[in-house]
Amino acid sequence: MNTVSEILSKQELSKADIISLLSLTTKEDHDTLIKKAYSVKESCVGKKDYLRGLIEFSNQCKKNCFYCGIRAGNTKVNRYSISDEEIINVVDFAQKNKFTGIVLQSGEQNNIGFTKRITDLITKIKEVTNPEFRITLSLGEQSFETYKEWFDAGAQRYLLRIEASNETLYKKIHPVNDLHNYKTRLKCLENIQKAGYQTGTGVMIGLPFQTTEYLADDLLFIKKMGIDMVGMGPYLEHADTPLYKYNDMLLPLPERFNLSLRMIAILRIMMPFINIASTTALQSIMKMGRERGLKAGANVLMPNLTPGKYKSNYLLYENKPCIDEEADECLDCLANRVKMIGEEIVYNEYGDSEHFTKRKTIRKTEIFIHG
């Protein structure tokens, strides 16, 4: 068996290599992997981190993912939808704090009224910002026409987490019906890329029934799909969900945390130029969790700018951090923490995924050569 240093010296990691790295057991080997990933981050995307202001504007959702606290079937949730005016106030706040973009996230809805609302909202945001201001959408599965309509209105990035790229596991964590169809999910990801977006996906780490082999496949899936942005973090349970009954199958939290860091680190090595978010779920397990994610190779932070009065109603999992704080308190705290680890938050730069920029250049060259 190869040592961790031998594996890390390879040009390309095989599935067996990835499984070996995910299965490291000693602190020394774990630290070797994290250090290598950080050196890749430093040389390819720099010791700098980008902010994306997250607005969770509605927790209304028609779906019933087994792991999610705001699933339609959870009657304990107070449902809300933030008005356009309140969203624009958050955008103003983001601009004043030198953010160059925001992320609009909600539960999944698809109907003509919702599509039009988002198109109009994108237009309004562009009116109070500028055409370059980055709008990321995280609004679930939609038709190609809808993705295209929002892209043409001015949104530039789209996040749709696959959550589990293995179909068997996907079916264990979602109801098996037309509304939660694995193949539809894949098709949507392809359509998002086809519409022209910087495309983001991600998975949960430490799910019941998940094997190390499945996680290795997740990383290979992300690479094969040519994804530009990734957000992945530890699976955190919510008592009011069907998946909660399998809690005794879960790894202890510290192990889920370390496994998540290794996933980030391996992905940074496999795809040096993508953007990787250090997720709030890491911070839920450990106070400095997001900073540890940055040191493992992540380079994006998504502070939650949702007005405080709504935050406690958007709990995909329990023990979500900072739900009692307003956005400005979160930002002060975040800037200090990033400084503490010797990194810098970059303001006034768009921080597009370099992988996307390269992908677009190659595509343009291909069109030029082949006509």
In the bound state with ligand SF4, the residue whose beta carbon lies nearer, of 107 and 154, is: 107
Q: Largest Cα–Cα distance in the chain?
A: 59
Write down the H helix ranges in 174-274: 182-195, 212-225, 253-270
**Residue 108 lies near ligand SF4 (rule: CB under 6 A):** yes
Measure the CA–CA gap between 210 and 90, rounded to whole angstroms. Answer: 38
In the bound state with ligand SF4, the residue whose beta carbon lies nearer, of 240 and 354, is: 240
Measure the CA–CA gap between 158 and 63, rounded to whole angstroms. Answer: 19
**Residue 65 lies near ligand SF4 (rule: CB under 6 A):** yes
Angle between helix 27-44 and helix 253-270 axes, rounded to 10 deg: 40
CB 347 to ligand SF4: min, Å: 30
CB 106 to ligand SF4: min, Å: 8
Which 212-251 residues touch ligand SF4, going by CB under 6 A? none
**Residue 162 lies near ligand SF4 (rule: CB under 6 A):** no
In the bound state with ligand SF4, the residue whose beta carbon lies nearer, of 77 and 121, is: 77
**Residue 63 lies near ligand SF4 (rule: CB under 6 A):** yes
Which segment (57-65, 203-211, 302-310, 346-354) binds ligand SF4 by CB under 6 A? 57-65
CB 180 to ligand SF4: min, Å: 8
Give the residue, chosen from 61, 227, 230, 243, that forms a contact with ligand SF4 under the rule CB under 6 A. 61
CB atoms within 10 A of CB 72: 17
In the bound state with ligand SF4, the residue whose beta carbon lies nearer, of 73 and 308, is: 73
CB 38 to ligand SF4: min, Å: 31
Measure the CA–CA gap between 175 and 295, rounded to whole angstroms. Answer: 36
CA distances 342 to 2, 331, 337, 338, 348, Å, are 33, 17, 9, 7, 20
**Residue 71 lies near ligand SF4 (rule: CB under 6 A):** yes
Which segment (11-19, 67-75, 83-91, 204-212) binds ligand SF4 by CB under 6 A? 67-75
Element (H, E) at 42: helix 27-44
Residue type, 339: K
**Number of chain positions touching ligand SF4 (CB under 6 A):** 10
CB 251 to ligand SF4: min, Å: 21
Of how many residues is the chain composed?
371
**Residue 107 lies near ligand SF4 (rule: CB under 6 A):** yes
**Residue 140 lies near ligand SF4 (rule: CB under 6 A):** yes
**Residue 270 lies near ligand SF4 (rule: CB under 6 A):** no
User: Phi-psi bin for 12: left (phi > 0), alpha (psi -120 to 50), beta?
Assistant: beta
Measure the CA–CA gap between 46 and 37, rounded to whole angstroms. Answer: 12
Which segment (5-13, 18-26, 50-58, 63-71) binds ligand SF4 by CB under 6 A? 63-71
Per DSSP (E only), the strands in the chain are 48-51, 53-58, 101-106, 134-138, 157-159, 198-201, 204-205, 229-231, 233-234, 275-277, 300-301, 344-346
Interacting residue ranges for ligand SF4, rule: CB under 6 A? 61, 63-65, 68, 70-71, 107-108, 140
